[in-house]
Structure 1
């Protein structure tokens, strides 16, 4: 007897051998078969879907789930209609209920949403008093803090020097403005980290409940336990607890930060470089929780103009910067790779992409291929010259079309008219045979998968322009494929999920309409009727 039969559905399998069906049968967490193979069988439950569409569950391969869970409990400063005055008002309201000396946490600030302005440090100091403030920029690559926070972090001490890969921004007179970039954020964050296991579990609970309602059945937690993007050295432990407590509603691939890898006293014959104690590496785990590639930051963000470019940003006298000395970054990549880690190299600017491609190619040529593909995270500015190598070496890319609406217009300005065609490409990757995996970078952008699919199709910015070039728009089928089949392949899981195929995991989403046939401008509005992971409902309105 089967566990579940879904009947009278429009099933799009994304499997070329059997693209469509009307009935699907599930048993033991797996897909058993379709149509006549299962229609006459008995099942514990049979549901008539009345023509609803069934797709493989969505897979967001690059997001920040714990961070997103934290934002859901923080002050939201995302594009407030009242401008900076409303930002100040929200922070001041929070200060009134925050005990003296305790932290005020806010998130979602984007300077381009406020006319390119940042909050005034004097105003922040007045409304917060001695309560330290940490207001995270939408990109996550910078933050706004007050004087109380900078004092605690030692940033105002005589002789203070900016950390490698970051800076405390100062005005013309040398006075800190309250803006801290990239690795400088760690000096602030280390005052409140590590978060407790219970806090991380609660974040995963809140975040993945939202994922389930959006049809997301798998995700990549892109950067854990170390660096400015980590939350606790025990994050893997927290994910295990969330799984055991029924608070993990989607399958998670966890990508450790390279900052946490270290030399290990192994046998000389092992040729080991850097890793984690016990020899844990990419590929360890099961279908629910697994260890993915190691995350390595090559540069910063395009939105804050810290991404490393070959030439200055348009109208500016800065080209961004790499996170460290290029040779040191290369050595980290090679040492991690020879120790069994696949690579997920964050590279947004074209200079950073140059280094990322060259270093990954060298690693593969020297030590061979891995079963879990190497990746370039974001791949924000990729020249044509790199497309053949990306395809030949099986390097996946994760450009976020979801950036288009909120920060696409600003990035067009930063890149300038001659380079904007290179921004967050999509169609060029697909046409060149490069693995293009769907992702959102949530909470840096709206993580709703259907919105991400539509953004791949239209690339529309808030001004009605397109991010980069309209030539990079995907078809709806290509966009859905990016969030399903290719996402699974790019994560090294193509054999067990990503298509609706007998024997694969029963991870699927039921939609109120078909994203491949509706007006593309309405894809984001399609209702998520139900989400199933391993044949169990994680969300349902049936």
Structure 2
């Protein structure tokens, strides 16, 4: 007997009217029609009456703002969900508070095989010291605990968790009391996440996607890989996203590809590309980002940890390009970025630069760029998948960047304006759970970068967080509210809309209607950010404050 699944009914035809519709098709639009999961029409209130009789639903926006849904171009969905539902130390103000919260979490989760926590940042605590293994042993009563640093490139663990990982003390990155990095960290993370049941993992994924939808995010790029999670976590998330209403999930699998067979295996997992967190180096906060010049506050001569050289990068990019698969890398330090650019350049010399450009390979984070590497990104057609919230969290003359690198080097980080001037495509993301799923805060962080010369306009930042994410995965037909585009949008309660003058960066504004440019919320620091009222993906509501 054959069982047939009844397909869901088609998305309704909807008329939205009485609001502000952010559309380049009509900068003064107040109404929009959706048909078959796509934008059918955008225009003025007066013309909307002609569509009312044919609509299944008419929504009075009551003055609300309608924008394209955001795309978060770098997310770790399961980790985000576990932080939302479990122990999150990102707001812990001191080591003592963190240890108290670890102890409370252990008491309230007596049945967990391995305790999981995330988000501690000793750089922001008085004294600047991370917890020791002995302190965590006492706080947990001797139970296994995995406690990742906020950048997820190092972790402190208990002795009981080390006992579950044979040979970990001989792996690179192991230290007797200090947080683990490198191979030792990857090994204990695999053991910790391996203790998460399928039910726990699925509920964490649902929690993360629900939270994303509540923030006006209609699409996320999942950055998985063998050193981050496992194949079942990755494929399970893709199945869940395909089966249940929620944000779209585009999966990237960070595994090196050296042949057509390798590329086929990555595709078989459902991955859009062999990209995301394919590590060329680590992170600045964990002293593992790979630098040309030593850290200012590290051991003498310490330059971080290189994971891939230019030869390995070239092999990966060549194989991916030949297979028609998008490639990409995690690279933060200037030495790591030099290796990535050198490898991509070598692949272009072998295959022809046009083929490499057409593949739209991407680099995650790309923080310590120079004028030369910015120019190389533009020439090679690389997309910069970046996280402006990093600067908001760690930038400034007294921030973590300045402590790790010194003030002068820290000022060069995250040069968004230079990337845009050079024509490098930008895609904004959060790297959640490293920083929160909070797209308007991300736009504000880019527009009010702590280093003024790196600031971009609110409009450019908004584009990078909407259309930029679609372009980063090779789609040029989405991320804007124009006829024919997917009906992925969000409705916002917001304050005054402003139109930024095209010759300004941030400080001065224009509300001259002759600009013909749709307005965006005033994101001046200290002001309230827009509140999401509804998120719609492919014409179906995936979040609504109305229930």
Which range, TM-score by smaller chain?
0.7 to 0.9
Aligned to 1:350: 334
Tell me, in whole angstroms, the C-alpha distance in 1 between the residues paired with 2:170 and 2:311: 22
Q: 1:413 to 1:123 in 2, by over 3 A?
A: closer
Tell me, in whole angstroms, the C-alpha distance in 2 between the residues paired with 1:100 and 1:507: 41
Deviation string 1:146-195 (CA, Å, 9 cap, x unpaired) is 22222322357xxx4324xxx013xxxxxx01410133222212324445
Deviation string 1:17-71 (CA, Å, 9 cap, x unpaired) is 5444111100110000122675412211111212221111101111111110111
Q: How far is 1:536 from its partner?
A: 1.4
Match of 2:346 among 362, 365, 369: 362
- The question of 1:105 aligning with 2:116 is answered yes
Q: How far is 1:325 from its partner?
A: 5.2
Deviation string 1:62-94 (CA, Å, 9 cap, x unpaired) is 11111101112221222323x212211122223
Match of 2:100 among 89, 94, 110: 89
Tell me, in whole angstroms, the C-alpha distance in 1 between the residues paired with 2:443 and 2:527: 8
Q: 1:100 to 1:504 in 2, by over 3 A?
A: closer
Aligned to 1:266: none
Tell me, in whole angstroms, the C-alpha distance in 2 between the residues paired with 1:7 and 1:146: 57
Match of 2:421 among 405, 415, 431: 431
* RMSD, aligned CA: 2.5
- 1:44-443 matches, within 5 Å, as 44-81=56-93, 83-99=94-110, 102-115=113-126, 116-155=128-167, 160-163=169-172, 167-169=173-175, 176-194=176-194, 195-224=196-225, 226-227=226-227, 229-233=228-232, 235-244=234-243, 246=244, 248-258=245-255, 272=260, 274-277=262-265, 280=267, 291-295=272-276, 296-316=278-298, 317=300, 318-324=302-308, 327-367=311-351, 368-369=355-356, 373-408=360-395, 409-443=399-433
Aligned to 2:512: none
Tell me, in whole angstroms, the C-alpha distance in 2 between the residues paired with 1:148 and 1:237: 29
Aligned to 1:4: 14
Aligned length in residues:
498
Q: 1:454 to 1:216 in 2, by over 3 A?
A: same
Q: Secondary structure at the match of 1:520?
A: coil
Tell me, in whole angstroms, the C-alpha distance in 2 between the residues paired with 1:523 and 1:155: 52
Aligned to 2:530: 526
Deviation string 1:518-537 (CA, Å, 9 cap, x unpaired) is 25225652111211111111
Give the conservation status (yes or no) of the 8 Å contact 1:111–1:117.
yes
Q: 1:536 to 1:292 in 2, by over 3 A?
A: same
Aligned to 2:42: 34
Q: 1:276 to 1:180 in 2, by over 3 A?
A: farther
Q: Secondary structure at the match of 2:160?
A: helix
Aligned to 1:489: 471
Tell me, in whole angstroms, the C-alpha distance in 1 between the residues paired with 2:374 and 2:459: 22
Tell me, in whole angstroms, the C-alpha distance in 2 between the residues paired with 1:200 and 1:100: 16
Tell me, in whole angstroms, the C-alpha distance in 2 between the residues paired with 1:476 and 1:57: 16
Tell me, in whole angstroms, the C-alpha distance in 1 between the residues paired with 2:241 and 2:191: 25
Q: How far is 1:393 from its partner?
A: 2.3
Q: How far is 1:371 from its partner?
A: 5.2
Tell me, in whole angstroms, the C-alpha distance in 2 between the residues paired with 1:300 and 1:139: 9
Tell me, in whole angstroms, the C-alpha distance in 1 between the residues paired with 2:540 and 2:109: 41
Aligned to 1:540: 544
Q: 1:444 to 1:149 in 2, by over 3 A?
A: same
Give the conservation status (yes or no) of the 8 Å contact 1:274–1:336.
no
Tell me, in whole angstroms, the C-alpha distance in 2 between the residues paired with 1:280 and 1:101: 34
Length-normalised TM-score, structure 2: 0.85
Aligned to 1:267: none
Give the conservation status (yes or no) of the 8 Å contact 1:230–1:257.
no
Deviation string 1:426-457 (CA, Å, 9 cap, x unpaired) is 11111111101111111101220011111111
Q: How far is 1:235 from its partner?
A: 2.1
Q: How far is 1:133 from its partner?
A: 1.3
Give the unaligned 5+ runs of structure 1. Answer: 170-175, 264-271, 460-465
After superposing the two structures, state which structure 1 stretch, 36-45 or 125-134, moved more: 36-45
Tell me, in whole angstroms, the C-alpha distance in 2 between the residues paired with 1:101 and 1:206: 19
Give the conservation status (yes or no) of the 8 Å contact 2:314–2:346.
no
Q: How far is 1:96 from its partner?
A: 3.2
Aligned to 1:172: none
Q: How far is 1:311 from its partner?
A: 0.3
Give the conservation status (yes or no) of the 8 Å contact 1:104–1:134.
yes
